[in-house]
Amino acid sequence: MRPGRLVLGLAGLAGFVLLLEVIPRAGLVPSRYLPPAADIAVALAGELADAGFWAALRDTLSGWVIGLLIAAGAGVVLGLLIGAVPVLRALTASTVEFLRPIPSVALIPLVVVLYGASLQSKLVLVVYAAFWQMLVQVLHGVRDVDPVADETARAYGLGRAARITHVLWPTALPYVMTGLRLAAAVALILCVTGELVIGAPGLGARIAVAQTSGAVPDLYALIVVTGLLGVAINVGARAIERYALRWHQSVRGETVG
């Protein structure tokens, strides 16, 4: 099953690269604005040989990691707290629903005034976007606790801490992992967007420089890098998810009890 999927995935990718090579060469799109895949590959090799590229990659990744950790930490703690206390849940529900759909990029003018073109600006955007992904998933997770299991735990005299560890957390964990996977992807997008629009150091800023310089193959090479980064992050997040939920039936693939 898995090797087959891998082959199909690679074939799909090869087809896409071929299309990217043929379309500009056939003149369907002027190659000045969409260079053929071979030119992009050459530009990519040039980027990989440039120290500035690696510094930009490091800036992007550090912004992503820090932002994601803050968002995930805050999302889990507040999600468990709000989810477990009905009053808090009722108190925040409308506010969460009000704030959640505000696109993070709408905050750009605000963060530019506050922090200029810095790591902080990027972090505000990343944390704002990723936090809601986490929070909402954790809230769903807490809501999913089986009342019978909870009552049983109470009947057996389990205290609050024990119930959180043995009932609440295992129920919420699959949701937390889903939230983390979604947040990881969103955080990367916002990280690069912030760099691109504000000019905070990173791959996005490098894309912007390539764009203003009219270096189109470099532009696409860097976009390819961000795409690959997205794939890598998703694969990594899925691996973590599988490991953290190795006991869970969705991963074990068998029904328990």
- Nearer CB in complex with another protein: 152/213: 213
Contacts of 166 (CB under 8 A, 6+ apart): 153, 158
Sign for the CA dihedral angle at 25, 28, 30, 34 comes to: negative
> Where on the chain is the footprint of another protein (CB under 8 A)?
30, 32-33, 66-67, 70-71, 74, 78, 90-92, 94-96, 99, 112-120, 123-124, 127-128, 131, 196-199, 201, 205, 208-215, 218
Closest CB 108 distance from another protein, rounded Å: 9
Enumerate long-range contacts of 45-49, CB under 8 Å, 24 or more apart: 46/218, 46/221, 47/218, 47/221, 47/222, 47/225
CA distances (Å), origin 166, targets 8, 86, 91: 41, 20, 27
- Nearer CB in complex with another protein: 182/208: 208
Closest CB 116 distance from another protein, rounded Å: 3
Contacts of 158 (CB under 8 A, 6+ apart): 166, 167
- Nearer CB in complex with another protein: 138/167: 138
Closest CB 99 distance from another protein, rounded Å: 6
- Nearer CB in complex with another protein: 94/255: 94
Closest CB 221 distance from another protein, rounded Å: 10
